[in-house]
Amino acid sequence: MDMETKEDFIKTTIRQLLRIANKYALVEELPLRFNDREEVTTREAHVIQAIGESTEMNITGLANRFGITKSAASQMVAKLVKKGFVDKKQAPHSNKEFFLSLTKKGGQVFNAHEEAHGKDLAYLVERLGAFSFSQIATLAVLLDAIGAVMDERLSDLTRE
């Protein structure tokens, strides 16, 4: 990797980030087995985890957490309700808002995902533990900047 300028280095870093994003998209579609007969995609397990971690999760909360549209969050929830992982109950204060909770089957997925996720997180913490606090802080600032550019791009696309 022969970098001549700061701009070259930035472009190479962006290509690396895109490669990681593509790999992450593949991981999101991988199956997670939670009992002898059934499985969910990793993406579905992440939504189930988000619902299981909150006492008052709704569609807007899911959309915000994952950086997706309310429509996409609503479609995912409808799919998980149909599969029997999630319950959707009307909020007492609103006719339009629904609170989401896990069914018993959703709880099984939550537990299976927590176990798998715990191993991955421990491995990441171990690998990233070699970096200084300031390096990790710099990474967080860089990711915020890239996220802001993505937010602007998505906002521009929804206005067109």
Walk along the chain (160 residues) and give the pLDDT tens digit of each residue: 556 899 998 899 899 999 999 999 998 898 888 777 888 998 999 999 999 999 889 999 999 999 888 999 999 999 999 999 999 998 888 778 889 999 999 999 998 888 877 888 889 999 999 999 999 999 999 999 998 998 888 787 777 6
Domains in the chain, ordered, with CATH?
42-129 (1.10.10.10)
Give the integer Cα–Cα distance in Å for 103 and 48: 10
Note the pTM of the prediction, 2 decimals: 0.78
Res 3: pLDDT: 60
